[in-house]
């Protein structure tokens, strides 16, 4: 970054390019004992309770489990927009906004993490179709 601190919609959930190795992405910890990932800033592994953790950015690719279409604008997203329950390739499950045509999403679709820079100067994140909505 250029010395200025960017504002994020939720600094506990995601990181920008230079904050952690492999950023931007979801804020996560990889356990050196069992190899599994836990979302967020944690002190012990949620799977094996080891405290041998490595902070990193994760969630670059994910699969859509299910989604819903919102018809009222919120959080800088114009309606209609989609929000989905996703499973990252590391196995973390979360809800995230989805960018693109809300009708193009469906269970099993592959997604990629994207940083969203709002005109207000605040950065957020979302997921979009890996193939930019191209048919599979």
* pLDDT band, residue 122 (cuts 50/70/90): confident
Please, what's the largest Cα pairwise distance for the chain?
A: 44
Judge contact between 96 and 127, C-beta under 8 A.
yes
Cα dihedral 62, 67, 69, 73 sign: negative
Start-end of H helices in 81-131:
none
Q: Over the stretch 33-82, which tens digit does the pLDDT of each residue have? A: 999 999 999 999 999 999 999 999 999 999 999 999 999 988 777 889 89
pLDDT averaged over the chain? Answer: 89
Question: CA–CA separation, 107 vs 65, rounded Å?
Answer: 5
Judge contact between 29 and 56, C-beta under 8 A.
yes
Q: Over the stretch 70-84, which tens digit does the pLDDT of each residue have? A: 999 887 778 898 999
Token pair for 72: 């009222």
Which of 17-21, 62-66, 125-129 is predicted with the least confidence, judged by mean pLDDT?
17-21
Segments making up each domain of the chain, as ranges: 10-58, 61-129
Cα dihedral 13, 14, 19, 25 sign: positive
* pLDDT band, residue 3 (cuts 50/70/90): very low
Q: Residue 34 CA to chain centroid, in angstroms?
A: 22
């Amino acid at each position: 970054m250029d010395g200025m601190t960017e504002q994020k919609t939720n600094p506990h959930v995601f990181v920008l390019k230079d904050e952690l190795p492999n950023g931007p992405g979801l804020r996560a910890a990889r356990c050196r004992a069992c190899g599994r990932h836990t979302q967020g800033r944690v002190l012990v592994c949620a799977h094996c309770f080891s405290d041998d953790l490595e902070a990193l950015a994760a969630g670059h690719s994910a699969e859509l489990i299910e989604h819903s279409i919102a018809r009222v604008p919120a959080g800088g997203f114009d309606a209609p927009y989609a929000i989905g329950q996703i499973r990252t390739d590391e196995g973390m499950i979360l809800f995230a906004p989805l960018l693109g045509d809300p009708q193009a999403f469906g269970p099993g679709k592959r997604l990629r993490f994207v940083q969203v820079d709002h005109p207000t100067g605040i950065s957020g994140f979302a997921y979009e179709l890996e193939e930019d909505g191209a048919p599979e």
